Amino acid sequence: MKIYLDNNATTRMAPEVLDAMMPFLNDQYGNPSSFHTFGSSLMEHIEIARQQVADLIGAFPSEIIFTSGGTESDNTALFYGIGADSGKPGLVTSVVEHPAILETAGHIEQTGHPLGLVSVKSTGSVNLNSLEELVNPNTGLVSIMKANNETGVIMPVKEAAEIAHKAGALFHTDAVQAVGKIPVDVKAEGIDLLSLSAHKFHGPKGVGALYVREGLKLNPFMHGGHQEKGMRSGTYNIAGIVGLGKAAEMGNCFIAEEALKTASLLEKLETGILKGCSGAFIAGASAERLPNTSTVLFKGVESEAVLTLIDLAGICVSSGSACSTGSKDPSYVLTSMGISATDANTAIRFSLSMYTSDQDIDYVLEVLPPIVEKLRKISPYA
């Protein structure tokens, strides 16, 4: 038996997405940049996918640039944003961003750009007062994630964008965990740049997109060709792009329905865990969160021990970001919320998807509480 509840790490590709991709992995293998019809005719499918992605986030197709995924999109947005105006070299982001943002921001700081890190409240939500204090006339870019990958806490992106724009700065959001799970509207929320990745909402790995608001001139991050209007060189991953487009189309059609279903299952999971496991509490419980994400802390029980035993029972979860797997350090997201390092090391992240069933949750609630209580009895920290 396999119960997969680690969907913030990656999702199962939807069968409909695979079906859409297959022709471009077999007979239609031409290069869309070629002169001949066998290749060039495939550009039509790329443009259809561009429209599908644009529709999902309320953008124009001309504002979508295809990339290899969220990390490339984040890097491109940050390097572009701090270079767009030489008179505004500062970068401001939050302490709970994904490593794709924080590590890039650290590199940018080393090249001489001022860096400000916004604090978060105990709920895990960005502290807008802290943001206002850090943003100044020298700030060129503000980057605040749409939703946190560990806690699922949804950030006040619209308000953050207003603060950035008031100071004359551009605003970027890493929406990798949000797109396809909750509505995202780049126009209504005042977003200038947005990152997304297909494999987080049932598309293929290795493909994503960067939204660049109309009127912004992007300096190429990758050189060597004319693709994407010269802004992102490289042979088109047409199968991946088509898969991204199909996943976006499905997300756009079913997002409200699936969010309600997933939220109901998540509530059932959380209620069962809190009832069945003494000392358990949920990070960011009082904040608005993604309908699929819950990080539960089991006080006195190390997460590594829980992960080992539930993995043996066929349940796939994580202790936080997949990009931090193997680290012995407590989650910086949780400690930034004021949670002690000891308690942070007891955290387990559950992340559901459209394929999660009632039976999956029932099995977890049958298996997990006895494991936690068994470990609590032998734990020196209990």
Catalytic residues: 323
Three-class DSSP labels, the chain: CCEECECCCCCCCCHHHHHHHHHHHCCCCCCCCCCCHHHHCCHHHHHHHHHHHHHHHCCCHHHEEEECCHHHHHHHHHHHHCCCCCCCCEEEEECCCCHHHHHHHHHHHHCCCCEEEECECCCCCECHHHHHHHCCCCEEEEECCCECCCCCEECCHHHHHHHHHHCCCEEEEECCCCECCECCCCCCCCCCEEEEEHHHCCCCCCCEEEEECCCCCCCCCCCCCCCHHHCCCCCCCHHHHHHHHHHHHHHHHHHHHHHHHHHHHHHHHHHHHHHHCCCEEECCCCCCECCCEEEEEECCCCHHHHHHHHHHCCEECECCCHHHCCCCCCCHHHHHCCCCHHHHCCEEEEECCCCCCHHHHHHHHHHHHHHHHHHHHHCCCC
Q: Of 247, 346, 356, which Cα lies nearest the Cα of 298? A: 346
Structure tokens at 263: 């939220």
As a whole number of angstroms, the distance between CA 166 and CA 58 comes to 23
CA atoms within 13 A on the CB side of 346: 23
Contact yes or no for 144/133 (Cβ under 8 A):
no
Dihedral (Cα; 228, 230, 235, 236), 10-degree rounding: 0
As a whole number of angstroms, the distance between CA 277 and CA 350 comes to 15
Partners of residue 333 on adjacent β-strands = none
Structure tokens at 326: 């193997």
